[in-house]
Amino acid sequence: MTESHSEAVAGAWSGGGSPYAMGHKKLGMWLFIVSDVMTFTALLMAYSYSRVANPDWPRHVFPIWPAIAFSTTMTVVLLASSLTMVMAVAAAHRGNRGATVKWLLATMAGGLIFCALHITEWFHLIEEGVRLFRNPWGSPLFGATFFGITGLHMTHVMCGVFYLGVIAFGFGTSRFSDEDVEVSGLYWHFVDLVWMFVFPMVYLMSVKY
Amino acid sequence: MSGHAEAAHAEEHAGSTRLFLIVWISLVVITMGEVYIAYLEFPAVTMLLMLIGLSVLKAGLIVAYFMHMRFEKFGLFLTLVPATIFCIGMMTVIFPDSMRLFHIRMLH
């Protein structure tokens, strides 16, 4: 083994330079995202388990209006906010602070519209008698799993809106770098990604024909 | 390096606006396809497989392009994705038990 090779190996085992060619914040966010994937997978698995295990599970509860129309609109709004987030990251990499802040504000607006639509959709179900541990259609677990999964997702969206607000302010005032914008973008796209599984598994698998 | 050259360099490594628009339109079209499929009254297992398949495709597009995984070092993908898929697979081990419970409840 040559001396330079030994030094390189020793360097890597002492923490190395940057094995993934990215900063620690970005790698940290990726690791957080993987852990959160496990949380949502466990919840969706529990939902599917309960649905299959209970013969009286309400299987056709969401009519096209308002539930499916609202949830489809929410999906498109969240996808649109991901596109504005991509534009914010691109503007940040170009060093255009004004454009970055505008795209971040547009992304936050998308998140707020998503939450407003979702809360309205929740009230539709509450009016129909769905609660955490009872509903008019069957297994009481339906309400707990539905509100648990969609509620945790909405909490992520609300936290994301706050997070983007902090980043927009910090980047606009030159306190944060473009890497911070990119890291917040990873979080926001992850929130979008989770909804891509919640929407079909919770809503589309239970449409009312 | 001039400003334009820097911007072109950045776009080359992280995708262009046109590419992101194509990905976004694809995601919206797949979503509309999912809603259409939901109204075709397939058996539950067929429906679930089709919807999850399309969702995995959407997740792949989001991770690869919006989250820039395609433009990162391949080592990041190898570190994160196989382990995540393995852990998700391990969670499905409990799933057949729900069918056992369903049959027990149907008998009583």
> Which residue ranges form the domains of chain A, and what is each CATH number?
23-206 (1.20.120.80)
pLDDT digits (tens, 9 = 90+) for B55-83: 999 999 999 999 999 999 999 999 999 99
Non-local (6+) Cβ contacts of B53 within 8 A are: none
Q: Give the domain ranges of chain B.
A: 1-72, 73-108
Please state the separation of Cα A192 from the chain's center in Å.
4
Question: Is A30 within 8 Å of B76 (Cβ atoms)?
Answer: yes
The reply to whether A80 touches chain B by the CB within 8 Å rule is yes
Interface of A with B in 2-21 (CB under 8 A): 19-21
CB A149 within 8 A of CB A184: no
Q: Which residues of A touch B101 (CB under 8 A)?
A: 52-53
In degrees and rounded to multiples of 5, residue A86 shows phi and psi of: -60, -40
Question: What is the reported pLDDT for B1?
Answer: 40
CB atoms A196 and B59 under 8 Å: yes
- Report the distance separating Cα B100 and Cα B39, nearest Å: 29
DSSP 8-class letter at B39:
T
* Closest by Cβ to B66, choosing from A19, A80, A189: A189
Q: Has residue B9 got a pLDDT over 60?
A: no
Residue B103: pLDDT band with limits 50, 70, 90: very high
> A1 falls in which pLDDT band (50, 70, 90)?
very low
How big is chain B, counted in residues? 108
Closest chain A CA to residue B89? A41
Query: Quick one: tokens of A33?
Result: 């995202």
**pLDDT on residue B107:** 86
Residues A90 and B19 sit within 8 Å (Cβ to Cβ):
no
Computed from CA positions of residues B1, B4, B8, B14, in that sequence, does the dihedral angle turn out positive or negative? positive
Residue from A82, A89, A90 nearest B23 by CA: A82
Q: How far is CA B60 from CA A56, A193, A204, B27, B85, in A?
A: 35, 9, 20, 10, 12
Cross-chain residue pair B97–A54, CB shorter than 8 Å: no
pLDDT at residue A207, as a whole number: 94
| Tokens at A183, concatenated | 């890291």
Could you check whether the bond before residue A66 is cis, i.e. omega within 30 degrees of 0?
A: yes
Written as six digits, the tokens of A18 are 């940057």
pTM exceeds 0.80, yes or no: yes
Q: 3-state DSSP: chain A helix, strand, coil percent, rounded to 5?
A: 80, 0, 20
Q: What angle do CA A155, A92, A73 make, to 5 degrees?
A: 40
Residue A175 has pLDDT above 60, yes or no: yes
Intra-chain end-to-end CA distance of chain A, in Å: 70
